[in-house]
Each structure stands twice: as structure tokens, then as C-alpha cells.
Amino acid sequence: MARLGKAQSQAVSLARRELGRLWMELEGLPAARQRDILLDLLPALCRKYGDIGSVAAAQWYDELWRQWFGDGFEAQPANGFDDEAARGIIRANAGLLFDKSDGTPSDPDKFLRWANKFLDRKVKEPGRLTIQANVQRDPRKPGYARVPSGGRTCPFCLMLAGRGYVYASAETAGADHDFHDDCDCEIIPEWDRGSNHIEGYDPDLYERMYRQARDALEGRHADPPLLEAANNVSPYTVTITQRSGRRRTHTYEPGDPNNLNSLAAIMRRQHPDFFRKTDGSIH
């Protein structure tokens, strides 16, 4: 697992390094010209280095599979990167390159920080998708888990890690597809049902922490500061792909027990020593 995480991190580092070199060439150009170049440049970097990450993930899957079963299956890279959707996100954030009509100056440094976070998320996505896609193809029908790989992780990720190994289609995994900026989670297959072979991964502990937070929110018997934290978050939107292929979207408001941002806020306060101070929320 450490090797898989290292390969994905290296792909992100390469993408960020290339962005840094090209960014210097953009300095001095008109803001509109910078935006137009970045609308082509950032998706190209995401696809190029996402492909590297997906190939590395497929090779990793093959090595792991052969340790269990020998030959007979070959993992395939997957990259579902959507150029047009990415350009829409980039265009929305490119306003930072322009001076505003109200006198607010441009902030290209802030845009560059955002672009580096964008690269982190989009370059890692194909590697995660590759693992999920090959779990579906694998004749041995493994489960897969979302496993934190850092020394500490955020409560949102811990809730998903508490699901343990999911023996279901990737389409029904729901929030398992959500990853915040600089997320260090990996998607890991497991062929031995009812067992866990990853050192330091304790889904039972994570699930107990999740249940404690959910009980507090559902029963409304939590301390007022916990409930206040649960209501001071963003709405949480989940999209589920049904068997028919239709996609259904539902938004849970702050304080709803199904709003994972609210549950994460409670977990963070119930177990302050367990979580790092800065973490992501999924919108």
C-alpha cells in the first residue's frame, strides 16, 4: 500500500513541477491569455500524469493479484477524466487572474495554490478508479476498502474507511468516490472475506467512532457545542447511479444525520487528538 501511495504522490509531484515551470512562462501575459492557456494546460497535465498514475495502479494490482493466485488476470488502467467538466471548474476559478470591477486586485498566487490542489485531486483519481474498475473485472470478486495512508487522517475519510471492505459495485459505493484536497486515502482490494491484512487499518474502530457521532446527532442528546458544530457546515450532496443507469442526486442539509460533513464535525470534536487540525469537507 505504501508503494501505491508513493507512486500516486510522485505523479502529482511531476505534474506540479511541470505546472511550476510553465507558470513562469505565463507571467507578464494578459490575464485573458493566461486563462485561455490554462484552460488547455491544466486538463493536459491532469490527463498526462493521471495516465501515469493509472498505469502504476494497474501494475500494483497485478503484482498483488499474482501474490495470491499466480497468473490468469491482467489489470487494465482506467482514466475517466472529463476535459470539458475540468475546463468549467478551471474557468470558474480563473477569475482570480483578473482585477475586479469593485477594485479588488487579481490574485494569481491564490489561483496557483488552487491549481496545485486541483492537480492533486485529478491526478490521483485515475489510480483510484483503476483499482475500483479492476475489482469489478476481477473473476475472484474481491472487496475493496478506502484506507487512510498517513499518520493522521480527517474524520470524513475515517467515516468512509469505517465501511470496511465493500463487496458491491463501485456504483453503489456512493461517498467512496469523494476525496478532498491532499487526501492520502487509497482504494485497496481484499480477496479474503472477513479478514484484513493491512497493518494499522482498523475499520471496526473507525465504525464505532462514526456510530458514536451519529447517535449523538440522531438522538439530539449531544452537548450544545457538538450540535452547533454539526450545523455550521456545508450541505452534503450525494449522487447514486441506479441499476437502470439513471443518476439520482440528493442534498442533505447541515445537522441531518446523513450529512457526512455534520458527522465529521462531531467526530472531530469527540476525538480531537485523533484528527489532524486541517482537513477537507466534501460538498
What pTM was computed for the model?
0.80
Note the helical H segments in the chain: 2-26, 31-69, 83-93, 108-137, 155-161, 203-219, 224-231, 260-270
The rounded distance, in Å, linking the Cα atoms of 84 and 221 is 46
pLDDT reported for residue 222:
67
pLDDT reported for residue 98:
96
* pLDDT tens figures, 110-146: 999 999 999 999 999 999 999 988 988 999 988 888 8
* pLDDT tens figures, 160-219: 787 777 765 544 444 455 677 778 888 888 888 777 777 777 888 888 888 888 888 887
* pLDDT tens figures, 37-76: 999 999 999 999 999 999 999 999 999 899 889 888 999 9
The rounded distance, in Å, linking the Cα atoms of 167 and 142 is 7
Domain boundaries, the chain: 2-131, 204-270
Helix, strand, or coil (residue 239): strand
